[in-house]
Amino acid sequence: MKRLKEEYQSIDSQNLARTCSQIGLTSKAENVVVLDVREMSSFTDYFVIMSGRSTRHVQALADSLEGELRSKRIKTSRTEGMQEGKWVLLDFGDVVVHVFYHEQREFYDLEGLWHDAPRIDDLSDHK
């Protein structure tokens, strides 16, 4: 079994969400939002929601997130939607990342569905 790099062994879910948002921003994701759903959800602590400009960009964003986190030995327990590239879901346990093509993001409106969830406005990288 591979061990997490020392700097990521004690990463909490909020810092993992921030790390995901930073990777997205570095990869030119648009409209990155982090929602704190700890008080409303039993299956995760944070949603990280971002958009890509095209289906290929959505796929590239998801690849970038998986690759960057895999290099830190943090793996998804589940990935869905990669083939289509319209809505890719990356499940990291305490953090679920949604990478949308803008039309699907508007249609599903996760921010509206989870409108009571506090937004994490400080997206700077905290390790």
Q: Examine the pLDDT at 37 and tell me if it is beyond 70.
A: yes
* DSSP states of the chain: -PPPPGGGTT--HHHHHHHHHHHHHHTT-EEEEEEE-TTT-SS-SEEEEEEESSHHHHHHHHHHHHHHHHHTT---SEEE-TTT-SEEEEE-SSEEEEEEEHHHHHHH-HHHHTTTSPB----S---
Q: What are phi and psi of 82, to 5 degrees?
A: -65, -40
Task: Summarize the confidence of residues 88-113 as an average pLDDT.
Answer: 95
Q: How much is the mean pLDDT over the chain?
A: 88
Domains contained in the chain, number? 1
Task: Print the domain residue range for 94.
Answer: 12-113
Is residue 33 one of the residues assigned to a domain?
Answer: yes
Task: Summarize the confidence of residues 106-121 as an average pLDDT.
Answer: 93
For residue 39, the domain's CATH number is 3.30.460.10
Is residue 42 one of the residues assigned to a domain?
Answer: yes
- Residue 10 confidence (pLDDT): 54
Is residue 31 one of the residues assigned to a domain?
Answer: yes
Is residue 70 one of the residues assigned to a domain?
Answer: yes
Is residue 121 one of the residues assigned to a domain?
Answer: no
Is residue 87 one of the residues assigned to a domain?
Answer: yes
Is residue 126 one of the residues assigned to a domain?
Answer: no
